A and B are shown apart, each in its own frame.
Chain A
Amino acid sequence: MLDTLKLPERHYLNNGHGLKSWLLTKDHKRIAIMYLISISAMFLLGGLFAAAVRVELMTPEGDLFLADNYNKMFTMHGVVMVFFFLIPSTPAVLGNFLIPPMIGAKDLAFPRINLLSLYIFWVGAAFFFYALFAGGVDTGWTFYTPFSSFASNTNVVPTALGAFISGFSSILTGLNFIVTIHRMRAPGLTWFRLPLFVWAHYATSLIQVLGTPVVAITIIMVFVERAFGFGIFDPTRGGDPVLFQHLFWFYSHPAVYIMILPAMGVISEVVSTFSRKTIFGYSFVAFSSLAIAVFGFIVWAHHMFVAGISTYSAMVFSFLSFSVAIPSAVKTFNWAATLYKGAISFETPMLYAYGFFGLFLIGGLTGLFLATLGVDVHVHDTYFVVAHFHYIMVGGAIMGYLGGLHFWWPKLVGRMYSEFLSRISAILVFVGFNLTFFPQFILGYMGMPRRYHAYPDEFQVLNIMSSAGAGVLGIGYLLPVIYFLWSLKYGEVAGPNPWGASGLEWQIPSPPPTENFKEQPVVHGEPYEYTPHVAREANLV
């Protein structure tokens, strides 16, 4: 069976050679691959900054970097990871590649705008690199005023502009997805027959389109403060520095749902495929995605409970913050229930899904501590918060992204990777991650503040544990680079559907032809249907 599988003769990767055919492509699949390369490079850079931070924090004294340089390290770690890795990640790579085939379309609604969004991403990254080589930036990725507008003497303007520009890349991706999902579904593909991956990206796109413009204009306001001496946030002229926080978090809180929703979409696909069972509570999962998008917009001031907001508004935002936790809990229960009476196998994508369960559970549940006012006053701006958001963004979003990459890799390149190495990598990531970030919850409750270059001696043991874990985590992240690259040449040919999955994308060749479908498919059945016949044909199990 395996011997008879061959790569298709013509597919999107060999349909046109040369740099120009790639840089001027309109093919969403090629654009996705270029995003993959770009954000992988940014992830490596962000990881280097993280390594610098963790190495410095092994000792209580600030003895590796000068204080100013340490401040630049954590700032640039945040800027790169948030704006240039996490926000694009799953949507720009997997969403771009998979949404058209999943809905039976030949491309996204606006292929040239898709290419434009990639160019804009590169321009934004270029601004960041300029800032980096000009000496870096030290405001924290959150750019709080008045420090960022008046006090910092680092390259705030180019960094802020880089983030601003990259925001438009995000907006255009979201816009493209919304129009595509509304207008380009194949005949018979009603909304409630869509894969949940598509629902997740639809909800994400709503956030991208509504939230990102607000942080864009906020960055512009900081820019005019700094560049022209305008006084929108300047307290000596009656300006309110806390206004910045409201405007900033109005986007940046929904932004975290931009990061997690697509990963949740991946988990739905993976859990269903590797249990050979339809998702339990499909419409609940679909509506929960929308609910998260909507509620995500009305909780922003839970980042500001100690910023001088009134007691009553704090209570309102705390109450609402619990509301956004419920849909996430509902999804988690539905995924777990999907496993019940399934036919489960543990290839690497499923290992990542299991890792996601463990880590997202902890990350999400620790959000409850932060939504609870009395506790938040104590742990705000300590390592407790750092641990919480890393559990969600790394433990959740990145596990989802990596799981998706491992799941759809055969579709992207037509070949399989080493299952042995990938399982090791998944386990290393899970173990290393917990070792890195669990101690930080304890550090936070003990009172260790964020963004500290040096700290009291009693925090050292936990910091050493955390740094050791970061080393393991780093190895776990580097391994995929090796075996994915290796697979491009030497991996087993995968065939159209190595996992026995459902979904239109698994019915076209791997790698797919440029136009995805020769003829537009017509959809009759429900999603996530598994038959023994297709299951037996899956050449892996």
Chain B
Amino acid sequence: MSNAVAHAEVHGHAEHHTALQHHFETMQQQKEASTLGMWVFLLTEVLFFGGLFMAYLLYRTWYFEAFAEASRTIAIAPGAINTAVLIGSSLTMALGVRAAQTNQRTATVRWLIATIFLGLVFLGVKVYEYADKFEHHHVPGANFISESPWAAQEQIFFSLYFTMTGLHALHMIVGVAIMSVITWMAAKGRFDEHYYTPVEMAGLYWHFVDLVWIYLFPLLYLVERHN
């Protein structure tokens, strides 16, 4: 039995779930507010990444050769692995939400831990990739070395590469932190079939960060690879 029901019995009114904040009238209102809030937040994130995508769009149009050549120097395998890892983590996330929705505490915790694990794998691969770039002098600025005739514009490509994937990685780190909190809450029995909103909201955020990567991967790793 979840703590929520016990609390309601103590409180005296059956519909007053322990998780109902007192400025809301009903759980339904609270859930709708949370959901709308998360979607609005994700909209701000679209605009946030959007500025970088606009810069990318402009410079790729102007300097396609440079972008293609720079992109071809990036190893596809780690990126592809990361894409699979993230898609997998969205699957485990969705299964975690489903488990919470059906009041299966252990399954919820397990799926959330799996999600965190996959997120950490992603970040680990990213560390490897960044270190590799340092070694090959692909970090723009003082470290950068290139023989290519398009060396200058390749720096712009890599500036965008690092800023975009760096920002994405930052969002992953925050996501892992959020997931850890949610997992702890699930382990403590805070959720039941009437209240699993935080799991669902964390899931929305996680799926969004995954989606950003799905755009980043082809734009950064797969420019003109067909020859």
Contacts and interface: CB of A to CB of B under 8 A. Distances in A.
Given A217-B48, A221-B51, A224-B163, A237 B153 contact: yes
A221 B54 CA distance: 12
B124 to A, nearest CB: 23
A342 interface: no
A105 interface: yes
B29 A183 contact: yes
Interface of B: 21-25, 29, 32-33, 36-37, 40-41, 43-45, 47-52, 54-55, 58-59, 62-63, 66, 139-142, 152-153, 155-156, 159-160, 162-163, 167
B48 A230 contact: no
A232 B51 CA distance: 12
B127 to A, nearest CB: 17
Contacts of A212: 44
A182 interface: yes
Given A218-B51, A220-B163, A240 B140 contact: no
A250 B48 CA distance: 12
Contact of A210 (B22, B41, B43): B43
Contacts of A220: 163, 167
Contacts, number: 117
Contacts of A198: none
Contact of B40 (A105, A107, A175, A236): A175
B33 A184 contact: yes
B48 A216 contact: yes
| Chain B contact surface mostly | helix
Contacts of A210: 43-44, 47
Contacts of B49: 217
Interface in A406-458: none
A232 B159 contact: yes
Contacts of B32: 183
A229 interface: yes
A175 B37 contact: yes
B36 A236 contact: no
A47 interface: no
A18 interface: no
Interface string A167-179: 0000100011011
Contacts of A218: 51
B40 A239 contact: no
Given A183-B32, A184-B29, A231-B155, A209 B44 contact: yes
A179 B40 contact: yes
Name, among A110, A221, A231, the residue most crowded by chain B CB atoms within 10 Å (CB to CB).
A231
A175, A211, A247, A515, most chain B CB atoms within 10 A: A175
19 contacts: A105-B23, A106-B23, A110-B37, A175-B37, A175-B44, A183-B33, A184-B23, A184-B33, A214-B50, A217-B48, A224-B159, A224-B162, A228-B139, A229-B140, A231-B155, A231-B156, A232-B160, A236-B152, A239-B59
A109 interface: yes
A231 B159 contact: yes
Interface in A265-297: none
Given A106-B22, A213-B45, 20 more contacts: A107-B23, A171-B44, A178-B40, A183-B32, A183-B33, A184-B23, A184-B24, A209-B40, A209-B43, A214-B48, A217-B49, A217-B167, A220-B167, A221-B55, A230-B155, A231-B152, A231-B155, A231-B159, A232-B163, A238-B152
Nearest to B140: A230
Nearest to A214: B51
Interface size class of A (residues with CB under 8 A): 35 or more
B153 A238 contact: yes
A175 B152 contact: no
A520 interface: yes
A213 B160 contact: no
A243 interface: yes
Given A106-B23, A220-B167, A229 B33 contact: no
A239 B156 contact: yes
B204 to A, nearest CB: 14
B48 A221 contact: no
Contacts of A214: 47-48, 50-51
A111 interface: yes
A204 B141 CA distance: 40
Nearest to A168: B44
Nearest to A109: B33
A238 B37 contact: no
Nearest to A248: B51
B62 A238 contact: yes
A111 B34 CA distance: 12
A230 B163 contact: yes
A364 B135 CA distance: 56
A130 B127 CA distance: 32
